[in-house]
Structure 1
Amino acid sequence: MYNEKKQNLLISVKSAFEGISYCAMHERNMKIHIVAGVIAGFLSWWFSLDKYEILILLVTIEGVLVAEMINTVVETLVNMISPEFHPLAKIAKDVAAGAVLISAMFSLVVGYMLFFLKL
């Protein structure tokens, strides 16, 4: 029983990494967010952010990446369920994209407060 649970956990983790990899390799906006996160990480070192500022930065980056992944899920499911145009499908996609936009805009505010106010 223990080995079966361990194998199921390993399969789940493998599947999760496949999902992350899919987004990173196929979603243009995810690539942009990853590059922005790496740049922010470099800037955190450059500006010698303290551990609390780094924590805020990491949570913000994580929020944007998760929002983008959820957006990918919504878009994929909507495309699968409704390959033809439907107004409700458009609403679902637009709302998911809006969530990413809000998250990304918030990250810009955090970046401004963490980096540009130190100049």
Structure 2
Amino acid sequence: MNNEKFSIIDRIKSFKYAFNGLKLFFVNDHNGRIHLCAAIVAIVLSFYLKISGSEWIAILSVISAVFVAEILNSALEKLADVVSPDYHPKIKIVKDLAAAAVLVAAFLAVAVGFIVFIPKLFL
């Protein structure tokens, strides 16, 4: 067990690392920027269509799920590249599984977007 004393200042400083991670993600990850653009479109459309509170929860939840999946995928890929700079079939499996998590989250986001937006746009 860690015997360091709890420090509010240290907890506040730890946010700096998290925000730096977000900055690195959006600056260095092409897919992150694509997801950010899609999220902005979804949020603007949500305001325009005046969606309900529960629809906002659904939209923001799937946006967050996609970002979390993509950030973890990126982190895992970077770690795998350090662990095994050369091609390794097991590292390929790990990377493919992480990419599959992003794909599942993105499919869910598209499905929720259809459920929320299509009736308001076309019906």
TM over 0.5: yes
The answer to whether structure 1 residue 81 and structure 2 residue 86 are counterparts is no
Q: Flag structure 2 segments of 5+ consecutive residues without an equivalent.
A: none
Q: In structure 2, what residue type is equivalent to 1:83?
A: P
How many angstroms does 1:8 deviate by? Answer: 1.3
Q: Which residue is 1:10 aligned to?
A: 12
Which stretches of structure 1, 4 residues or more, deviate above 3 A after TM superposition? none
* Unpaired stretches in structure 1, ≥5 consecutive residues: none
Q: How many residues align?
A: 118
Residues 8-37 of structure 1 show CA distances to partners (whole Å, capped at 9, x for unaligned) of 112210000000110011100000001100
Partner of 1:94: 96
Aligned equivalent of 2:119:
117
CA distance in 2 between partners of 1:46 and 1:64 (Å): 22
* Root-mean-square deviation over aligned CA pairs: 1.4
Cα distance between partner residues in 2 of 1:94 and 1:8: 36
CA separation in 2, counterparts of 1:83 and 1:93? 13
1:51 partner amino acid: G
Residue aligning to 1:34: 36
User: Counterpart of 1:63 in 2: which secondary structure?
Assistant: helix
Give me the whole-angstrom Cα distance separating, in 2, the residues matched to 1:84 and 1:9: 38
Q: How far apart, CA to CA, are the structure 2 residues paired with 1:20 and 1:73?
A: 11
2:52 maps to 50
Distance 1:70 1:44 in 2: 27
How far apart, CA to CA, are the structure 1 residues paired with 2:109 and 2:119?
15
Q: What amino acid is the match of 1:50?
A: S
Sequence identity, in percent? 34
